Chains A and B, each alone.
Chain A
């Protein structure tokens, strides 16, 4: 129920932002399209916390702001490594263990690794990711463990 209400609200706001209409007839069309979308989603039975992650925004937004800081730091390191007159890198393929209770937390963690420049998730395994790193300085296990902890906490709350 709460998922349905929040999804309708988000869809309605999205429709209004993207169209910018303020005439009542056109807004009615927007309401109709939101209702049709909700009916379709209900018929498909996919209305759960994975399709509607908006209820965790109060923890996800601070997490992504933290991740933005990490991205800026890693970007500087990658740019430095790529623009040095003498390139000196040792690429590595490392296996990063994943501790997450739900698929959503695993997805957020894998996305965060790829979003951080210098590391890319190459393959997803049962309880680990295969991560390619530009240089050995990007493969610190503590960094991955910290990101895993924050990602799991932001998506699942303090369950562990």
Chain B
């Protein structure tokens, strides 16, 4: 019985770690990407895969209880509402006339700009 609990804990910790990594990557993406529409994609990683993985990890921690059923509902509602919210924000920007950046975006490496400033 103990070994099963151990496996469950390891699985849930692994899911939590991967979920947190995706949330962090999404946050870094929001800072690094160039314009509003591309930043939405980075935020999307956070609120779809990152949030779902964390909810699943918490479900494993809760075990076979009512709490797990509630968490399942939370995950389900997130799954349906987060793309709707993303679409609402993107559609609002589009209707307000914000034009997306459509050219190739390739900023120079920070190393090169730094040496440029020094010289």
Report yes or no: A115 in contact with B83, Cβ–Cβ below 8 A: yes
Count of chain B residues near A, Cβ 8 A: 43
Chain B's interface: helix, strand, loop or mixed, by majority?
Answer: helix
In the assembly, what is the distance between CA of A79 and CA of B102, in Å? 20
In the assembly, what is the distance between CA of A132 and CA of B109, in Å? 26
Looking at the assembled complex, report how far the CB atom of A154 sits from the nearest CB atom of chain B, in whole angstroms. 15
Q: Which of these, A20, A87, A114, A120, contacts B105 with CB under 8 Å?
A: A87
Determine whether B1 belongs to the interface, using a CB cutoff of 8 Å to chain A. Answer: no
Determine whether B17 belongs to the interface, using a CB cutoff of 8 Å to chain A. Answer: no
In the assembly, what is the distance between CA of A118 and CA of B106, in Å? 18
Q: Contact string, B85-104, partner A, CB cutoff 8 A, digits 1/0?
A: 01100110011000011111
Q: Which of A20, A71, A83, A87 is most buried by chain B, counting CB atoms within 10 A of its CB?
A: A87
Contacts of A130 in B (CB 8 A): 94
Chain A: interface size category: 35 or more
A19 closest partner in B (C-beta)? B66
Contacts of A14 in B (CB 8 A): 73
Q: Which of A100-115 contact B (CB under 8 A)?
A: 110-112, 114-115
Report yes or no: A122 in contact with B103, Cβ–Cβ below 8 A: no
A87-B32, A93-B102, A123-B91 known; A117-B25 Cβ under 8 A: no
